[in-house]
Amino acid sequence: MKEDIFSKSLDMHRKLRGKLDIRCRKDIENVRDLALVYTPGVAEPCRAIARDENELWNVTIKNNLVAVVTDGTAVLGLGDIGPAASMPVMEGKSCLFKRFAGIDSIPLAISTKDVNEFVNVVSKIAVSFGGINLEDISAPRCFEIESRLQQELDIPVFHDDQHGTAVIALAAYKNALRLTGRSLAGSRLVINGAGAAGSSIARYFLAAGVEDIIMCDVNGALCEGYPQGLNPAQVELSKVTNPEKKRGGLADVIKGADAFLGVSRPGLLTGDMVRSMAKEPVVFAMANPTPEIFPDEAFAAGAAVVATGRSDFPNQVNNCLGFPGIFRGALDVRARRINEEMKLAASEALASLVTDAELSKDYIIPSALDERVVPAVARAVAEAARRTGAARL
């Protein structure tokens, strides 16, 4: 990526004055058009909704509208920059919804760090939307916010930083294991980074059938009875991960591991650590923009396959592979929620797009620009929603 991408992006944003606009689907060219779109004709769809609120899905934009909601506390690699500074990212997410899945969305930055107030605001406006995409909210608040909104609302609530990353990472991990002759149940995985993304990935991989996961944070391996101050989500994780109760830092617990998955900080995985892993290990170094280890160093140390979060290396674990198709499938069947079965179906659909003939160390996951991705993921998610009773249609 060219060094001037940042200044060019700023120039583009200033020129466009925002990346989104709103367009009317019905032309208003004469008095009759005006009467249909607004008064007096609009009274009839209002009465239809008053009689049966489900009509809201049939006569308004709700059927294809998602709210992209943040408080600006964990924006990209920038951290807590506040709701105002988060808006370009939220607009960008809305652009991706439209480009990849034809979904309309509105960026909403909420000026509060109070969980109760945040949940209350989103709950009050949710009637207008078919789904809620939570974005760039710091841990551990993001866990409570998502959980409470899922309980209160009858539309999908999806924190993409947690679940979107997990869905794509599992698809790539399945194919990396297929390439190296391993299985989910038989692999030992070390996850470095126990924040929102790392915690969600661990829970999701456990649900998918991975049995041996060791979580590491800045203080070392999470273990039941871990002496450092863990948040509630990490306490629960410590009970279901690290089955052999290994102690120590990343360099200690990675010895003999089949795979490494990093959602942490640059440079934390060394070549010596990779050499201490099992033969032909799998390395997912997903810190952005600078990974835990660069692919050339990982390969030199013996890695069989490497994935990152960057577009300038093969095997990019990119959330664009997940959330557009997941929400497309959920909206198509008017789902009440996005459940575990729907996410697992998305991962399987994504992984299956890479055939045995195509599978290689440089191709374990499709490109975000692969036009097959959204339809395949949407179909799988919609079918899983119907099968599990999450769908209205």
Q: What secondary structure does DSSP assign to 210-250, as a single string? A: --EEEEEETTEE--TT-SS---HHHHHHHHHS-TT---S-H
Residues 6 or more apart in contact with residue 156 via CB below 8 angstroms: 130, 131, 132, 327, 330, 335, 336, 337, 338
Kindly state the tokens that stand for 53: 């609120």
Look-up: residue for tokens 């557009």?
A: 324
190 in the same domain as 148: no
Q: Are strands 220-221 and 259-262 parallel, antiparallel or unpaired?
A: unpaired
pLDDT digits (tens, 9 = 90+) for 94-115: 999 999 999 999 999 999 999 9
Which pLDDT value is given to residue 219? Answer: 86
State the Cα–Cα distance between residues 325 and 164, nearest whole angstrom: 11
Rounded alpha-carbon distances, angstroms, from residue 40 to 1, 34, 46 = 54, 9, 11
Q: Which residues are annotated as a binding site for a divalent metal cation?
A: 135-136, 161
Which pLDDT value is given to residue 235? Answer: 85
189 in the same domain as 90: no
Whether the link from the prior residue into 83 is cis, omega within 30° of 0, is no
Taken as a whole, the chain contains a residue count of: 393
312 in the same domain as 167: yes
Q: Which residues are annotated as a binding site for (S)-malate?
A: 288, 318
CB burial string 133-172: b at 16+ within 10 A, e below: bbbbbbbbbbbbbbebbbeebebbbbbbbbbbbbbbbbbb
Q: Which of 8, 26, 38, 255 is catalytic?
A: 38
Tell me the HSE value of 315 on the side-chain side, using a 13 A CA sphere: 28
Which pLDDT value is given to residue 3? Answer: 57
Beta carbons of 86 and 136 less than 8 angstroms apart: yes
In whole numbers, what is the pLDDT of the chain averaged over residues? 95
Which pLDDT value is given to residue 224? Answer: 79
Beta carbons of 153 and 336 less than 8 angstroms apart: no
182 in the same domain as 98: no
pTM (predicted TM-score): 0.94
Classify the C-alpha dihedral 114-120-124-125 as positive or negative.
Answer: positive
220 in the same domain as 144: no
Of the pLDDT bands very low, low, confident and very high (cuts 50, 70, 90), residue 227 is: low
**CATH at 129:** 3.40.50.10380
Kindly state the tokens that stand for 274: 């990779």
Q: Is 93 a catalytic residue?
A: yes
Which pLDDT value is given to residue 289? Answer: 83
Distance, CA of 123 to chain centre = 21
Which pLDDT value is given to residue 50? Answer: 98
Structural domain count, the chain: 2
170 in the same domain as 52: no
Regarding predicted confidence, which is higher, 288 or 280? 280
Residues 6 or more apart in contact with residue 318 via CB below 8 angstroms: 168, 309, 311, 368
Q: Which residues are annotated as a binding site?
A: 135-136, 161, 288, 318
Q: What secondary structure does DSSP assign to 23-92, as a single string? A: --SS---SHHHHHHHSTTTTHHHHHHHHH-TTHHHHHSGGGGEEEEEE-SSSBTTTBS--HHHHHHHHHH
202 in the same domain as 351: yes
pLDDT digits (tens, 9 = 90+) for 343-371: 999 999 999 999 999 999 999 999 999 99
11 in the same domain as 140: yes
Range of the domain at 204: 161-393
190 in the same domain as 93: no
State the Cα–Cα distance between residues 262 and 285, nearest whole angstrom: 5
End-of-domain residue from the set 155, 171, 190 = 155
Q: Which of 93, 174, 343, 361 is catalytic?
A: 93
230-234, 251-255, 319-323, 385-389: segment of lowest average pLDDT: 230-234
Residue 124 has pLDDT above 90, yes or no: yes
End-of-domain residue from the set 155, 177, 196 = 155
Coil, strand or helix at 304: coil
31 in the same domain as 73: yes
* DSSP 8-state class, residue 316: B
State the Cα–Cα distance between residues 275 and 298, nearest whole angstrom: 9
Residue 1 has pLDDT above 50, yes or no: no
187 in the same domain as 284: yes
Which pLDDT value is given to residue 140? Answer: 87
Q: Is 226 a catalytic residue?
A: no
Which pLDDT value is given to residue 234? Answer: 83
Rounded alpha-carbon distances, angstroms, from residue 81 to 76, 114, 120, 176, 306 = 10, 16, 22, 36, 31
**CATH at 218:** 3.40.50.720
201 in the same domain as 70: no
End-of-domain residue from the set 155, 175, 202 = 155
